């Protein structure tokens, strides 16, 4: 039977890996280890076969977008246009490995011949402060769309895409489990990566029922990091058990109380957090945005990417 036409092209890992150009993989295992998140698997082979073709594709699209930008500015009669940053959104579940993907893409993009400056901003900085979440009775909804300062996040992305010289983004601390007063300051970088659970969320409805703008309206490219929810749950629980021995052991950690939990108690608590917060959020608000991404990276149970799906132009 003929395969149905689709707006996406899906490539098995081997077919995707074969698209890598001649350029050598620029990162050493030590550099890869530095971007690798807790519990993640990432080696030279994975970077070469999966993430190098991805960043080659993005670099090619950045160059093409520059041509399009120059043509548009010429049309508008602007003789000395200053380009706005190229914005890349990276979304997916809690514990799927978005941060590792984002940090790796940042390193690989920064190694392109143009040596672009690349900044990375995570959307957790736009979570409402714990005091405010508590006031609204939604401290147990952290990561759900309503737990963010969505206007602030939209303003931030619009400021970046307006070409503002200096743009600030608030920063979150996993140690204190709250937003900090030390923002990330961007000085018109060439590329901005925005990583977070809800970056591909559709626009909210305004008071009159009409849709507003979504941050993804200002993305030049977007990636959704995907895996089976069964695998993600296991990664979340395993990471929680490791955090108990590492980050939670710090008395300053908001989760310090868990450091004295037995394996069984910690596992129960992690499963409860997953089943009552992170899984419902994934099911209701995150998975539903996957089709909006330009590219989906589907991971296997060992974190290796199994297939890649790219939206046709």
Q: Which residues bind ligand PAZ (CB under 6 A)?
A: 94, 122-124, 142-143, 196-197, 273, 277-278
Using the minimum distance from each CB to ligand PAZ, give the nearer residue, 85 or 143: 143
**What distances in angstroms separate CA 183 from CA 122, 124, 167, 245, one per listed residue?**
11, 12, 10, 29
CA 125/CA 172 separation, integer angstroms: 4
**Considering just the CA atoms, what is the radius of gyration of the chain in Å?**
20
Look at the block and give the residue holding tokens 């993989």.
25
Using the minimum distance from each CB to ligand ADP, give the nearer residue, 62 or 192: 192
User: Pairing mode, if any, of strands 86-92 and 221-226?
Assistant: parallel
Q: How far is the CB of 181 from ligand PAZ (least distance, A)?
A: 17
Calculate ∠ Cα 260-277-153, nearest 5°. Answer: 110
CB neighbourhood size of 1 (10 A):
3
CA 154/CA 167 separation, integer angstroms: 13
Q: How far is the CB of 311 from ligand ADP (least distance, A)?
A: 22
Contacts of 301 (CB under 8 A, 6+ apart): 227, 228, 231, 234
Calculate ∠ Cα 79-61-42, nearest 5°. Answer: 140
Per the annotation, binding residues are 92-99
137: alpha, beta or left? (left if phi > 0; alpha if psi -120 to 50): left
- Give the start-end residues of each E strand in 18-103: 86-92
Q: Could you say which of ligand ADP, ligand PAZ, none residue 142 binds, taking C-beta under 5 to 8 angstroms by partner kind?
A: ligand PAZ
The single residue among 32, 51, 98, 299 that binds ligand ADP, judged by CB under 6 A, is: 98
Q: Could you say which of ligand PAZ, ligand ADP, none residue 289 binds, taking C-beta under 5 to 8 angstroms by partner kind?
A: none
Q: Could you say which of ligand PAZ, ligand ADP, none residue 97 binds, taking C-beta under 5 to 8 angstroms by partner kind?
A: ligand ADP
Using the minimum distance from each CB to ligand ADP, give the nearer residue, 98 or 161: 98
Residues in the interface with ligand ADP (CB under 6 A) total: 13
Using the minimum distance from each CB to ligand PAZ, give the nearer residue, 84 or 229: 229
Q: Could you say which of ligand ADP, ligand PAZ, none residue 243 binds, taking C-beta under 5 to 8 angstroms by partner kind?
A: ligand ADP
On whether the CB atoms of residues 190 and 118 are closer than 8 A, the answer is yes
Look at the block and give the residue holding tokens 């399009």.
68
Per the annotation, binding residues for ATP are 92-99
Using the minimum distance from each CB to ligand ADP, give the nearer residue, 154 or 227: 227
Residue nearest to ligand ADP (CB): 99
Q: How far is the CB of 277 from ligand PAZ (least distance, A)?
A: 5
Q: Could you say which of ligand ADP, ligand PAZ, none residue 58 binds, taking C-beta under 5 to 8 angstroms by partner kind?
A: none
What residues pair up with 178 in beta bridges, in sequence order? Answer: 173
Q: Could you say which of ligand PAZ, ligand ADP, none residue 297 binds, taking C-beta under 5 to 8 angstroms by partner kind?
A: none
CA 113/CA 111 separation, integer angstroms: 6
| Region 241-280 residues binding ligand ADP, contact defined as CB under 6 A | 243, 247, 255
Using the minimum distance from each CB to ligand PAZ, give the nearer residue, 95 or 108: 95
Using the minimum distance from each CB to ligand PAZ, give the nearer residue, 31 or 271: 271
Q: What is the strand order of the sheet 305-311 is part of?
A: 8-12, 305-311, 295-299, 221-226, 86-92, 191-195, 118-122
On whether the CB atoms of residues 179 and 118 are closer than 8 A, the answer is no
Task: Please report whether residue 97 would count as binding ligand ADP according to CB under 6 A.
Answer: yes
Stretch that binds ligand ADP, among 18-26, 91-99, 264-272, 285-293 (CB under 6 A): 91-99
Which residues lie near ligand ADP (CB under 6 A)?
37-38, 92, 94-99, 174, 243, 247, 255
């Amino acid at each position: 039977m003929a395969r149905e036409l689709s707006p996406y092209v899906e490539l098995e890992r081997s077919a995707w890996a074969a698209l890598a150009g001649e350029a050598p993989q620029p990162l050493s295992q030590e550099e890869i280890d530095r971007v690798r998140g807790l519990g993640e698997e990432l080696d030279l082979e994975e970077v070469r076969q999966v993430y190098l073709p991805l960043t080659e594709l993005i670099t090619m699209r950045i160059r093409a977008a520059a041509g399009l930008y120059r043509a548009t500015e010429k049309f508008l009669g602007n003789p000395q246009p200053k380009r706005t940053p190229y914005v890349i959104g990276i979304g997916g579940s809690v514990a799927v490995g978005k941060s590792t993907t984002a940090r790796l893409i940042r390193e690989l993009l920064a190694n392109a011949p143009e040596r672009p400056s690349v900044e990375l901003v995570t959307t957790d900085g736009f979570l409402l402060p714990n005091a405010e979440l508590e006031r609204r009775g939604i401290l147990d909804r952290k990561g759900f769309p309503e737990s963010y300062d969505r206007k602030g996040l939209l303003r931030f992305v619009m400021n970046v895409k307006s070409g503002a010289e200096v743009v600030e983004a608030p920063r979150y601390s996993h140690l204190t489990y709250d937003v900090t007063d030390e923002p990330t300051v961007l000085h018109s970088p060439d590329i901005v990566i925005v990583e977070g659970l809800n970056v591909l969320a559709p626009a909210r409805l305004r008071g009159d029922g009409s849709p507003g703008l979504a941050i993804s309206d200002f993305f030049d490219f977007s990636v959704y990091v995907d895996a089976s929810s069964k695998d993600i749950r296991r990664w979340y629980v395993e990471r929680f058990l490791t955090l108990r021995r590492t980050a939670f052991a710090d008395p300053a950690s908001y989760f310090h109380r868990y450091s004295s939990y037995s394996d069984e108690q910690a596992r129960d608590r992690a499963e409860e957090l997953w089943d009552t917060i992170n899984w419902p959020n994934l099911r209701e608000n995150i998975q539903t945005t996957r089709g909006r991404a330009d590219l989906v990276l589907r991971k296997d149970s060992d974190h290796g990417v199994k297939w890649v799906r790219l939206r046709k132009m």
